[in-house]
Amino acid sequence: MGYNNHIISEEEIEHLKDLARVEFGEKETEKLAKDFGDILGYVGELKKVDVSGVLEMTHALEGVKNVFRKDEEAKEGGGLASDLINAFPEKENNYLKVKAIL
Amino acid sequence: MTILEFHEALKNKKTSVRETVTSYLDKIKEKNGELNAYLEVFEEDALGQAKEIDERIAGGETPGELWGVPLAIKDNILIRGKIASAASKILENYVASYDAYVIEKLKKAGAIFLGRTNMDEFAMGSSTENSAYGPTKNPRDISKVPGGSSGGSAAAVAGGLAMAALGSDTGGSIRQPAAFCGVVGLKPTYGAVSRRGLIAMASSLDQIGLIAQTVEDAEILFNAIRGKDEMDSTSVETGGSTAIWRLNRQMKRIGIPKEFFGEGLDLEIKNSIDAVIKKLSQKYEIREISLSHTKYALECYYIIVPAEVSSNMARFDGIRYGRRSEGEDLISTYKKSRGEGFGLEVRRRVLLGTYVLSAGYYDAYYSRAQKVINLIREDFKKAFSEVDIILGPTTPTSPFRLGEKFDPLSMYLSDIYTIPVNLAGIPALTLPSGIQLMASHFEEKKLFELGKEIELWN
């Protein structure tokens, strides 16, 4: 496809990987730069649309409001807590185990 | 057998739930090795439930419409106590701790879940080739893809491995595979069906829907899963008494959007749709309409979706649940868990979303796309002030071969006629012939009525 007019630098891609907390292999990274160029070139077509005076779409559905639950102790029964604890990749007793943060 | 036929047979004691469920399990054993439609089959549970329902019927109870109906469930919809992996390695051992709203409703209605079906990882794809557990094949021709991302659900229904199925549709993920496999697919109005318990991809567009053998079955299943859920504030009350569910006037006009019949549409598909339009013109007024901004729908989609994906995928970090790959420190644990746990397309979208939301690019991409979406919505609004239903193709081509499309853009293009519907938030119904019917918000009833009429001709 002939949309390959958007160049994104290697440094930019490395920076994005850090921001997004993802890894890519060497070969994947090579292809990534090309795919990014293609996709960004393609979506760049939107520059042609006249959007003057148009508002951003900010709600998927008109007329719905935010709903908040009361700030009180959740009364979840039925073993939910133990289900969640069982899902921990690593634990000690009932504590979630992670690498040291500092 | 359709849901309706099965229900009649069950009421008249011509079959038992056990007999029917067993025949589906046998079919799965025979064909799933080849099709890879199911990632897991719940044989024991299904037989246990079947026995229970048969006993209740033997005890004199009248079966409800969905009693014993064997369904396939897409692997991104949670069933308590079962693995829900979204066909990703990062969730390979994740066991759901609650039921999705739709699962809760279907359990109460007496439906039976045969298993969880294959999909593109986290619903990102249009061929089910992006699954971490191998591709699904199209039952009509196993050298072809079934479409995606709900390819496993569509293949299960088309191949006779389930009576009907649940899927999800963010940009065509129910309708495109339905068209490819020759079954019925419904993407409901955004908000008509609760998203609680659906693993999120792009929350402003995601919608749970269904795949069935007939329009009538689709209507039955839709009525069983729709409704307001206190736990999803974007779901809308659509109770039976609400006027929008009734046809308050006769359908008169059908709109044909010229943008859906331009360059890129396969001639065979065009001809078959033209034949249907000709037949419809005997009863309805056919009017050519324009949805001029829909030509930018795909561009909007590939900005908005990666943006929402990058934030929705942030929760999968290998810390509280899912697969963890240990690194030297916390940051490298995150990066390794996500690097090894996510497939290439998921990582590509996460990165793209991070980019388009970056300071300095926000206005050029995200903000502009949200404005163009408003223009697309206006196009549909205007069209529906003139016509009752819009009719067009679901896909530009017939199913492609496995491995045929390997660059992301050409894959994205297969959703060109389905994406505008998600951006507008309206409902759409795909028929086995590949025809797509679109109606205004919460007007699913119109889709079912016209769909049944067209179905009768075949």
Active site residue B105: no
C-alpha distance from A72 to closest chain B C-alpha (Å)? 16
The pLDDT assigned to A2 comes to 39
- Residue B407, classed as helix, strand or coil, is coil
Cβ-Cβ contacts under 8 Å for A51 (sequence gap 6 or more):
B368, B371, B372, B375
The pLDDT assigned to A62 comes to 77
Q: Any chain A CB within 8 A of the CB of B286?
A: no
Stated pTM of the model: 0.96
Q: Which structural domains are found in chain B, ordered by start?
A: 3-243 (3.90.1300.10)
B153 alpha carbon, distance to own chain's centre: 9
Joined together, the tokens standing for residue B73 give: 């469930």
Q: Any chain A CB within 8 A of the CB of B261?
A: no
Q: What tens-digit pLDDT sequence spans chain B (458 residues)?
A: 999 999 999 999 999 999 999 999 999 999 999 999 999 999 999 999 999 999 999 999 999 999 999 999 999 999 999 999 999 999 999 999 999 999 999 999 999 999 999 999 999 999 999 999 999 999 999 999 999 999 999 999 999 999 999 999 999 999 999 999 999 999 999 999 999 999 999 999 999 999 999 999 999 999 999 999 999 989 987 755 444 545 556 789 999 999 999 989 999 999 999 999 999 999 999 999 999 999 999 999 999 999 999 999 999 999 999 999 999 999 999 999 999 999 999 999 999 999 999 988 999 999 999 999 999 999 999 999 999 999 999 999 999 999 999 888 888 889 999 999 999 999 999 999 999 999 999 999 999 999 999 999 86
Residue at B52: amino acid letter: E
Name which of A15, A31, A46, A66 to mutate to probe chain B: the one with the most chain B Cβ atoms within 10 A of its Cβ: A46
The pLDDT assigned to B239 comes to 57
The pLDDT assigned to A76 comes to 65
Joined together, the tokens standing for residue B135 give: 């591709």
Alpha-helical (H) ranges within B281-321 are 297-312
Q: Pairing relation of β-strands B389-393 and B253-257?
A: parallel
- Residue B2, classed as helix, strand or coil, is coil
**How many whole angstroms separate alpha carbon A87 and alpha carbon A84?**
5
Contact (CB, 8 A) for B126 and B114: no
Asked if the Cβ–Cβ distance from B318 to A89 is below 8 Å, we say yes
The pLDDT assigned to A100 comes to 85
Residue count of chain A: 102
Contact (CB, 8 A) for B17 and B53: yes
pLDDT digit string, tens, across residues A57-96? 888 887 777 888 888 877 766 788 889 999 999 999 999 9
**How many whole angstroms separate alpha carbon B10 and alpha carbon B70?**
13
Residue count of chain B: 458
**How many whole angstroms separate alpha carbon B334 and alpha carbon B222?**
40
**How many whole angstroms separate alpha carbon B207 and alpha carbon B427?**
10
The pLDDT assigned to B241 comes to 41
CB-CB neighbors (< 8 A) of B201 in chain A = none
Provide the 8-state DSSP code for B94: P
At A101, the pLDDT band (50, 70, 90 cuts) reads confident
B208 alpha carbon, distance to own chain's centre: 6
Burial class (CB in 10 A: 0-12, 13-18, 19+), B27: middle
Active site residue B74: yes
CB-CB neighbors (< 8 A) of B322 in chain A = 87, 89
**How many whole angstroms separate alpha carbon B86 and alpha carbon B121?**
6
- Residue B347, classed as helix, strand or coil, is helix
**How many whole angstroms separate alpha carbon B179 and alpha carbon B211?**
10
pLDDT digit string, tens, across residues A24-41? 999 999 888 888 888 999
Look at A61 and A99; give whichever has higher pLDDT: A99
**How many whole angstroms separate alpha carbon A60 and alpha carbon A41?**
27
A48 alpha carbon, distance to own chain's centre: 27
Query: For B355, which of A16, A23, A98 is closest by C-beta distance?
Result: A16
Residue with tokens 């009509």: B140
Smallest CA–CA distance from A54 into chain B, residue: B371
Domain parsing of chain A, residue ranges: 10-48
Joined together, the tokens standing for residue B169 give: 């549709």
The pLDDT assigned to A6 comes to 65
What ipTM score was computed for the predicted complex, to two decimals?
0.91
C-alpha distance from A73 to closest chain B C-alpha (Å)? 17
